[in-house]
Every structure is written in C-alpha cells, then in structure tokens.
Chains A and B, each alone.
Chain A
C-alpha cells in the first residue's frame, strides 16, 4: 500500500538509506524502513492510564496487543484525516503502534550525503534531509520512548 518516491526507479546504491516518509498532523517525517514492521489501517485503541510519557494506550492487532506511542502528542499536533493509518514500529522492547495521518506514506531512497545532522527535535533523530520546501527529520524509531524527554 506504499507509493515509491523514486520516479526513475534506479537501483539503490548499497549505502543508500531506504526511508518511509509520512506525516503526522501535517508535519512530514521519515523513518528507516528497516525499523518499520508495517503500515495498516488505524483501529480504535484502548486507553491505559499511565505515567510513561506518550505511552497511554494499547491496540489489538490480530492476536497481539501493541502499546501505542503518541507521536502526535509528542509533536503537539493532531493526527489528520478520517482514515488514519497505523505505523507499526520495530522497537527493542517490542513492536509499537503509532497513529499517523491518513495520507499514504512514500518510500524514498536517499543518498547519505543528503542527510544533515538534526538537533532540537523532541525525539532522537538520525538526521534530516530537504524535500521540496520541507526539512524532514528522520526519527530513530528504536529510541522512541526511551530518552528522558520521551
């Protein structure tokens, strides 16, 4: 269900970064595809009273229960679209569900030279790159929810 952002469909160099570009609250973000377990329709979540920042719900996915990371809350935005999507993140503590905008994510291959250091974000970032007029940070999904801020 993902579109490819590489119009010329060149074979990626081994060192290229394969990214999934999506949006939350209209803000464009990227993650490395090898940190993504899948993208699916968002299902209703069950609130779980919690003291862990931005982890306060769970969601059933088939026979498993995934914790929900509130990335929109971390970014202080609201998820857009009636048909929101669920990005399932691979995480050292187990898979995590993240609600993202209904706009279909795009696969993109990026030359590492295009990646710049990224600072000042509310999350751990692997870097950022420019896409059109946007500066798109690359979220380190494996570190989400593990730093002091998140």
Chain B
C-alpha cells in the first residue's frame, strides 16, 4: 500500500502543507503528514486496543466518538492511522484514506470565527480543495485522547488487560513520501 501525493493548487514552489486526507462518516478530515507514522489495514490491526510497532505503543484514539461522527462498519477500506507528535503516540481508525495532498498555504484557511465552541481546539485550519473542504485536525488534541488511563501504567496481559498486537514494520505503510 503506497500513498501518492496530489498537489492542490498551481504553485509548485509554495512550500504549503502536506497532509493525509481521510474520511470518518460524512466528514473529510486531514492529519498533518509529518505526524503520520504509517497506516494499517483493518485486517492487520484487528480489534487490538493497542498497536506496537518497533517498540512504539500506539494507543487507540476514538476520534469518531470525540467528534460525534457515525463511523462506518469496518470494511476493506478501513485503515488505522498511526500518529506521533510531541512525544505522544496514538492510532486512529478511519473509514478510508483518500491519500496525501500537498496544499498551498493560500488554501489553508482559518476556521471561521462563527465556530466559537470547543471545536476551536479540534481543528488547526480548513483545507480548501477543488470541490470540498477538509478539516485539518489538531494533532495535539487528537493525541490527548491517547493518554494512558489513570491507574494503568503498563499493559498487563496476564490479568486480561488490553489486547495488544505487535506489528512488524513490513505491514505498515511507512512514513508518507511523495511518489
């Protein structure tokens, strides 16, 4: 599984922003590509509550639930996005991955001030594509949902703790790069 970058806009020298566009329910969302370590298929990730890749533990983040989005049932397009940012790691299950997009700075616009609730901390900005708008998630906010629950300091499988899978790096679509 490889990800190809598409350029949105016409100025090739604009450093812009590289992002991974995904869908959860009816909403197009985007992650900063710098924070994406890789992708897993639902077959590989299964229902594990934690994913370990090369000794890095990715705790699940229920972005759909936190955004009150109705996610689709797991299917062939379901992916688990592995994220790292600010020393935190987390995994987000999404309905499908649209791909990598390079977005010109001019097409990265602030969230309109009419949105005046908690959502101001959920999104970094809006990404304007040809026909649609994607919501660039704030990675810090996303990974706040991956914090270790109080009282849990380590994975204790012997006492029926969370199900963990160790994923070999070959099964992860690696760090995104332009093809």
Contacts and interface: CB of A to CB of B under 8 A. Distances in A.
B117 A51 contact: yes
Interface stretch (A2-10, A61-69, A123-131): A61-69
A41 interface: no
B65 to A, nearest CB: 11
Chain A contact-residue range equals 20 to 34
Interface stretch (A18-26, A42-50, A79-87, A134-142): A42-50
Contacts, number: 62
Contacts of B115: 48, 50, 52, 55, 67
B109 A93 contact: no
Interface in A48-107: 48-52, 55, 58, 60, 63-67, 69, 91, 93-94, 96
Interface in B102-140: 109, 112-119, 122-123, 126, 128, 131-135
A60 B132 contact: yes
B67 interface: yes
A65 B112 contact: yes
A49 B69 contact: yes
B27 A48 contact: yes
A51 B26 contact: no
B133 A60 contact: yes
Contacts of B117: 50-52
Contacts of B116: 52, 55
18 contacts: A46-B135, A48-B115, A48-B135, A49-B67, A50-B119, A51-B118, A52-B119, A55-B116, A60-B132, A65-B109, A65-B112, A65-B126, A65-B128, A66-B112, A93-B113, A94-B112, A94-B113, A96-B114
